Amino acid sequence: MPARRPILLNAFAMNCVGHINHGLWTHPRDRSDEYRHLDHWTDLARTLEDGLFDALFLADIVGVYDIYGGSIDLAARESIQLPVNDPVLLLPAMAAVTRRLGFAVTVNTAIEHPYSFARRLSTLDHLTGGRVGWNIVTGYLDSAARAVGREAMAEHDSRYDRADDYLDFLYKLWEGSWEDGAVLRDKAARRFADPARIHEIRHEGPYYRGQGYHLAEPSPQRTPVLFQAGSSGRGQRFAARHAEGVFINARDPVAAARTARSLREAVVAAGRRPEDIRIFVGVSVVTGATDAEAQEKLADYVAHASPEAGMAHFSAGSGIDLAPLGLDDEIVTGPTNAIQSTTAAAQAARLTKRRLLGDLALGGRYPLIVGSGATVAAEMRRWRDEGEIDGFNLTRTVVPECWRDFVRFVVPALQERGLYKTAYGEGTLRRRLFGEGDRLPDRHAGAQAWRG
């Protein structure tokens, strides 16, 4: 068996109270409602860096979950990603108290024009010293479209066409506007930068156009590490061209391996190498000193969870109002603009509301790994090997103890088995994830796009 790279680890969180495992905010020890305070996040960042996490992966949603029961009632009562604050603003404070922890932050391409967004991410890459990733999302909620004065969200595939165009504009700004030698910082010669090496870029795309100089000088990574989570056919094509990290959902390692192979084939078809993407599967871990302690903890958590809130979240993702369905009705749907992979998987599995509620015992539907550090480490190895993945996005349960438990019990067990690093590598997030340079490799579309 070939030597495998160490398992990669992202913590998966969100600037809100209820993220994935719904209802756990009611647990007496849970402090996720302190999301409004900087200390909550700087403490988290320190904990994750103690555990040598590769990155904190921050989800986001613009819009509200108003499908279930046709209202926001349950979303408000159980704080199902409502309220939800801007995730981007957490990074500077967390970067200031850490040195190596990376950040992958979700931003919807529909929020602002690429010209100002390019500067926003370049600024983050500067301030973090090259530790920024961007999780590219295109949005799927009609409530978000109405909020900005449109009738409904654009059709699913066209959102990716628009995002392709958005990325092409960004690549020109990030990669093409300032040459590497443009900034001189020469006080004696009074030459801060050489104007001959700063280029106005022009973009005339189907959705975006403009011409201008990038406002930021080159940052350590130029283009941030690009993450994406699309699993539909169109989403996979988008990932094959752009993504360096892909976040997948899978019920078991067999399903993970199917998605991972399909993704790597698409990446190769796009002129890249199979190892040019790192694949992360989402899981929930509950751990303790022993298997028994972990099982007890799980039972305590489950007693505070809200499977109904999980169902409301599923309704938003699938576009199907599950409130009026009977427990044994199959969950079926016609064409929808919502998350394609969610609805396809539900139909393929002939999912009923009863089975869905069973899956949602902890309030979320991510595969659950429960046990001592040794048990969890063994199961993570199995996922990695059988699932053909590179790492995990770990959902939060009861905050912050879930992170501290993982660092205390699982990290040493992974390290003892040679499955996890024992110190951070040097350099930018991209360099540490791929072991090559700080910048996009030449074979990535973004490294070439601006020359076009």
Residue 242 Cβ, how far from a second copy at the closest point, in Å?
22
Between 76 and 299, CB nearer to a second copy: 76
219 labeled binding residue: no
DSSP string, 123-163: HHHHHTTS-EEEEEE----HHHHHHTT-SSPPPHHHHHHHH
Q: Check residue 401 for interaction with a second copy (CB under 8 A).
A: no
Nearer to a second copy, 193 or 349 (CB): 193
Q: Which residue has the tokens 């340079």?
A: 437
Residue 217 in the binding site for a second copy (CB under 8 A): yes
- What is the distance between the alpha carbons of residues 307 and 234, in angstroms, rounded to a whole number? 31
Site residues (CB under 8 A) for a second copy, limited to 277-306: 306
Q: Is 115 annotated as a binding residue?
A: no
The phi, psi pair for 394, rounded to 5°, reads -90, 120
Query: How far apart are the C-alpha atoms of 161 and 110, rounded to whole Å?
Result: 12
* Phi/psi at 52 (5° precision): 55, 30
Q: Interaction with a second copy in 79-98: which residues (CB under 8 A)?
A: 79, 82-86, 88-93, 95-97
| Binds a second copy (CB under 8 A): choice among 195, 324, 334, 335 | 195
Q: Looking at 63, 224, 245, 282, which residue binds a second copy (CB under 8 A)?
A: 63
* 334 CB burial (10 A radius; 0-12, 13-18, 19+): exposed
Q: Is 29 in the site for a second copy (CB under 8 A)?
A: no
- The span from the first CA to the last CA of the chain, in angstroms, equals 43
What mask of x and - would describe binding to a second copy in positions 233 to 272, judged by CB under 8 A?
----------------------------------------
Q: Is residue 179 close enough to count as binding a second copy by CB under 8 A?
A: no
How many Å apart are CA 405 and CA 440, to the nearest integer? 35
Judged by CB under 8 A, does residue 211 bind a second copy? yes
Q: Does 422 bind a second copy (CB under 8 A)?
A: no
212 binds a second copy (CB under 8 A): yes
Q: In the bound complex, what is the minimum distance in angstroms from residue 338's beta carbon to a second copy?
A: 17
Residue 287 identity (one-letter amino acid): T
Reduced 3-state DSSP string for 42-71: HHHHHHHHHCCCCEEEEECCCCCCCCHHHC
**Best CA proximity match to 332, nearest among 341, 340, 344, 324:** 344
Residue 113 in the binding site for a second copy (CB under 8 A): yes
Looking at the Cβ atoms of 183 and 270, the one nearer to a second copy is: 183
Q: Candidates 70, 148, 251, 452: give the one binding a second copy (CB under 8 A).
A: 148
The residue within the footprint of a second copy, chosen from 154, 210, 321, 336 (CB under 8 A), is 210
Instruction: Supply φ then ψ for residue 379, to 5 degrees.
Output: -70, -35
| Choices 28-36, 236-244, 314-322, 403-411; region in contact with a second copy by CB under 8 A | 28-36
Q: Which two tokens stand for residue 201?
A: 């870029």
Q: Report how far residue 310's alpha carbon sits from residue 390's, in angstroms, rounded to the nearest whole number.
A: 27
Q: Shortest gap between Cβ of 182 and a second copy (angstroms)?
A: 8
Which one of 22-30, 340-348, 349-357, 417-425 is the stretch in contact with a second copy (CB under 8 A)?
22-30
Binder among 72, 270, 357, 378 for a second copy (CB under 8 A):
72
Residue 323 near a second copy by CB under 8 A? no
The answer to whether 232 is a known ligand-binding residue is yes
* Cβ atoms within 10 Å, residue 148: 10
List, in order, residues 6 or more apart from 149 with CB less than 8 Å away: none
Per CB under 8 A, the list member of 1, 2, 3, 149 interacting with a second copy is 149
With the C-alpha atoms ordered 337, 341, 342, 348, is the resulting torsion angle positive or negative?
A: positive
Residues 350-389 that bind a second copy (CB under 8 A): none
How many residues bind to a second copy according to rule CB under 8 A? 81
Binding residues: 60, 106, 156, 160, 231-232
Binding residues for FMN: 60, 106, 156, 160, 231-232
